[in-house]
A and B are shown apart, each in its own frame.
Chain A
Amino acid sequence: MENTHKSSIIIILLSVIFVMTIGYASLTEAISFTKDKTPSWNVHIKEISIQNQINSGQNIIATVQDDNLSANFKAKLENKNSSVTYNVTVKNEGTIDAKLDTITFSNKNENIKFEYHNINIGDVIKSGKQQNFTVKIINKNANQINNISDLDMFLGYTNL
């Protein structure tokens, strides 16, 4: 083979080796990954929304308190049997499964009564999941002007 051709072949082979070396170097970079396995606890009331308002029952405000596990419900319930039903969403954004230890209510208005559904002591919210339940506030007495509920709710969760 002529010298010129051999020189060209040598140059080509050197180029190929150079390119492969660069590619080879990039592939041999250390592959590393880390996974955070630190357990975390984060169960909280994510949202409160109105499910329905019956017989002129009217939501005033439903507030999640600073601890994110307590709430207050204020609704205007002037007609007898008027009601407001709230949908409460509790979410577990921690890594530890949580079990409902307590659900407690404190009522400051003797003219109203309340019910809650779809939640029971012992209910489990697994990590990443949520639970929805309802709280219904009802005027149990005769028609009353400016009858406003003042109902507190407290939730307590423990490690499953």
Chain B
Amino acid sequence: MESKHKNVLIVALLAVVLVMAVGYAAFTQQLTINSTATIQESGEGGKKNWDVKFDTTKTNAYQVTKGTGGSTEPTANITFPSDTTATITANLNTPGDEVVYTFTVQNKGTINATLSQPKLAITNGTDTDENPDTMTYNNVIFEVSQLGSTTLNVDGTTTFTVTATFDPDATEVTSANNVAKITVTFTASQATA
């Protein structure tokens, strides 16, 4: 290559290096990204992301049956102190008296849920029943059914029942002992994918 041509090539290569150096410098400046990510507390339409709860409108969802020979009609009551607890009262008088309470659990959130078997609790007394599947308080035996479904997807509902029956082995049949008040509760967790 002639010397003149080499001079031109050298100048051209120097120009390329210069341009690349400027571009290189621009790219190697520290890149800083400032970003704030916010986990939305609510989903579309203002729905809570996690909202699994009793249908608290169903305060009359119970069926009363009077035992044969009974003279006094059994009575019952349902209240919902919170989204995840219910308080039920049963006033039974004779063997054969029964109340069946029906509870509806609904998923109003945006996350699918898995429900655990509902639990019964006596908040002001002692469960004298040795059977783990039932609960006895005063002269009333309570038994909770299995859930209709343990999977509760968004906008879904499921139900379970609690049956109160008069203890056939009751020895002190008084108006005070014929009344029992217990708590019904459930727990839920996010469903695994």
Contacts and interface: CB of A to CB of B under 8 A. Distances in A.
Interface residues of A, number: 53
Contact of A127 (B39, B53, B127): B39
Interface stretch (A34-42, A53-61, A73-81, A82-90): A34-42
A96 B187 contact: no
A33 B120 CA distance: 48
B85 A102 contact: yes
A37 B111 CA distance: 13
Contacts of B123: 104-106
B14 interface: yes
Contacts of B10: 6, 9-10, 13
Interface stretch (B23-31, B68-76, B152-160): B23-31
Given A17-B16, A39-B39, A96-B39, A152 B27 contact: no
A97 B38 CA distance: 13
Q: Is the interface of A mostly helix, strand, loop or mixed?
A: mixed
Contacts of A27: 24, 27-28
A116 interface: no
B40 A39 contact: yes
A110 interface: yes
B6 A7 contact: yes
Contacts of A152: 119, 121
Given A17-B16, A152-B119, A102 B190 contact: no
Contact of B185 (A10, A16, A42, A154): A154
A124 to B, nearest CB: 12
Interface string B4-43: 0011011001101100110110011001000101011101
Contacts of B41: 96-97, 159-160
Contact of A108 (B6, B13, B119, B127): B127
B189 A154 contact: no
Interface residues of B, number: 51
Contacts of B23: 24
Interface in A38-69: 39-42, 44, 65-69
Interface stretch (B44-52, B90-98, B163-171): B44-52
B7 A102 contact: no
Contacts of A7: 6
Contacts of A16: 17
A156 B185 contact: yes
B13 A17 contact: yes
B39 A159 contact: no
Contact of A40 (B24, B111, B186): B111
Interface in B58-114: 81-85, 109-111
Given A27-B27, A70-B119, A98-B50, 6 more contacts: A10-B9, A13-B14, A17-B16, A67-B116, A105-B123, A159-B109
6 contacts: A6-B10, A13-B10, A41-B111, A96-B49, A108-B128, A159-B50
